[in-house]
Amino acid sequence: MASTPTTSDERILSAVAHFSVLLFGWGIFLPMIVWVVERKKSAFARFQALQAAAYTLASFALYVLVVPLLVLALTLVMVVVAALTAGSTGDAGAGLALGFQFLLFGFIFGVWGVFILTGVIGGIACLMGRNFRYPLLGAWMDRFLHRPEPAEAAP
C-alpha cells in the first residue's frame, strides 16, 4: 500500500483512534473525538478515525450479541453432559464439561486478542504514515466514503 504524505499530528491522532481498541467498551469515543477535531483538516485522519470508530462499534456490537449465545451454549452443554452422565460413577462427564469450557473460553479470548491486535497494528501503521484498512470493513468504508459523484444527465 502506498504511503500518503502526512504530518506528525495526523499520524499521532490517527494512531490514537486505532489504539482506542485497548479501551474496550469506551473505545468508540476517542475515534469520534479525533474525527470531530480533524474532519475538515485531514482526509487521512478523518478516514482512519471513522474506520476505527466503525471497527470498534461493530466489534462491540458483535461481542454483545455473541457472548450471551456462547454462555447459553455452554449452559446447554453442561445440562446435557450432566443428564447423560447422571447414572455413571466415572468422571468422564466432568472432564468433557471442563474441556468444553476451556475450548469456549479459549475461543472467546482468542477472538478478543485478534480484535485488539488488529487495532494495534492499525495504530502502528498510522504512526508510520501508512494508510491502514481493516480487513473487510476498510474496503467497504473506502468505497462508501469515496464513492464517485453521479454523472449529470445530458440535456
The answer as to whether 48 is a domain residue is: yes
Distance in angstroms (rounded) separating the CA atoms of residues 135 and 126: 15
Residue ranges in 39-91 assigned as alpha helix (H): 43-84
With a cut of 90, say whether residue 2 has pLDDT above it: no
Q: Which domain holds residue 65?
A: 8-142
Measured over all CA atoms, what is the biggest interatomic distance in the chain, rounded to whole angstroms? Answer: 86
The answer as to whether 149 is a domain residue is: no
Over residues 37-55, mean pLDDT: 88
The answer as to whether 15 is a domain residue is: yes
Distance in angstroms (rounded) separating the CA atoms of residues 100 and 106: 10
DSSP code string of 7-53: -HHHHHHHHHHHHGGGSTTTTTHHHHHHHHHHTTT-HHHHHHHHHHH
C-alpha cell at 85: 452422565
What's the number of domains the chain is made of?
1
The answer as to whether 64 is a domain residue is: yes
Is 0.85 surpassed by the pTM of this model? Answer: no
Distance in angstroms (rounded) separating the CA atoms of residues 17 and 34: 7
The answer as to whether 113 is a domain residue is: yes
| Confidence band, pLDDT 50/70/90 cuts, at residue 42 | confident
The answer as to whether 1 is a domain residue is: no
The answer as to whether 2 is a domain residue is: no
Asked which of 27-31, 44-48, 134-138 is least confident by mean pLDDT, the reply is 134-138
The answer as to whether 153 is a domain residue is: no
The 10s digit of each residue's pLDDT in 112-154 is 898 899 999 999 999 998 888 888 777 777 777 665 544 454 4
| Confidence band, pLDDT 50/70/90 cuts, at residue 91 | low
In a 10 Å sphere around its CB, with 0-12 CB exposed, 13-18 middle and 19+ buried, how is residue 108 labelled? middle
Q: What share of the chain in percent tops pLDDT 70? A: 83
